[in-house]
Amino acid sequence: GRSSFSITPQANNGIINLPLSDKFKRFSLSNLIDEYFNSTQDTSADETMQIEHTVPQSYLFGLVTINKIIKERVIVAKRDLVLQEAKLAFLPRNLFFNIGRYRKNPDVTIPFNLRMDKKYFEDKNSGNYTLQGFTRNLNEVHYISYIKRNGIWFLCDDNNVHAISEAEAKNAVKQAYVLHYK
């Protein structure tokens, strides 16, 4: 079976939460997005049927034979996976992704330019997005942000804000928690 539902910005506060699934050995934003919008749910279930049959049984050294009715439940079919398909109601101006790095901290391949295909949207539009900023965690309580303004990347660490190279931003984004695309 296939179930489908629509996501509006109000339903998830405009942030798409992408957990790091054990399904992948290497993580990329495109894999996480595909998994979010088209995830398989493990809902295996057995369909059973009750069957009755007669079995002759002998008693008293085989002198007396009676028929015994046996009822059995037999698995006749097995349903394994259900595809759950999510769609955004419309093509938003801004996209925010939260990568769930709760116990895992692997590098994630994150593009600076992201194409969101029409399969993700109810209105069948598609869009090209550019990474405008991201946040990463340096330790349990210290977060830093990276913001792109007028083509220049800036590192924002408390009161310390300074320009960085695009190469530095590309390296840092691998550990991002929150991504902002426009």
pLDDT at 175 over 50: yes
For position 35, what pLDDT does the model report? 81
Which has the higher per-residue pLDDT, 134 or 30? 134
Question: Each residue of 75-120: pLDDT tens digit?
Answer: 666 665 555 677 888 888 899 999 887 666 788 899 999 999 888 8
Are the C-beta atoms of residues 75 and 47 closer than 8 Å to each other? yes
Instruction: Please give the pLDDT value at position 5.
Output: 42
Instruction: Evaluate if residue 164 carries a pLDDT over 50.
Output: yes
pLDDT band at residue 6, thresholds of 50, 70 and 90? very low
Least confident of 74-83, 121-130, 146-155: 74-83
The pLDDT assigned to 38 comes to 76
Backbone angles phi and psi of 76, in degrees to 5: -105, -20
Q: 112 versus 18: which is more confidently predicted?
A: 112
Task: Report residue 39's pLDDT band, with 50, 70 and 90 as the boundaries.
Answer: low
Average pLDDT over residues 166-181: 94
pLDDT over 50 at 123, yes or no: yes
**Is pLDDT larger for residue 6 or for residue 81?**
81
What number is the average pLDDT over the span 51-66?
Answer: 66
Q: Residue 117 is encoded by which pair of tokens?
A: 């295909």
pLDDT averaged over the chain? 78
Contact call for residues 156 and 164 (beta carbons, < 8 A): no
What 8-state DSSP symbol labels residue 120? G
Beta strands in 36-116, from DSSP E residues, in sequence order = 38-59, 64-88, 95-100, 108-109, 113-116
pLDDT number for residue 124: 84
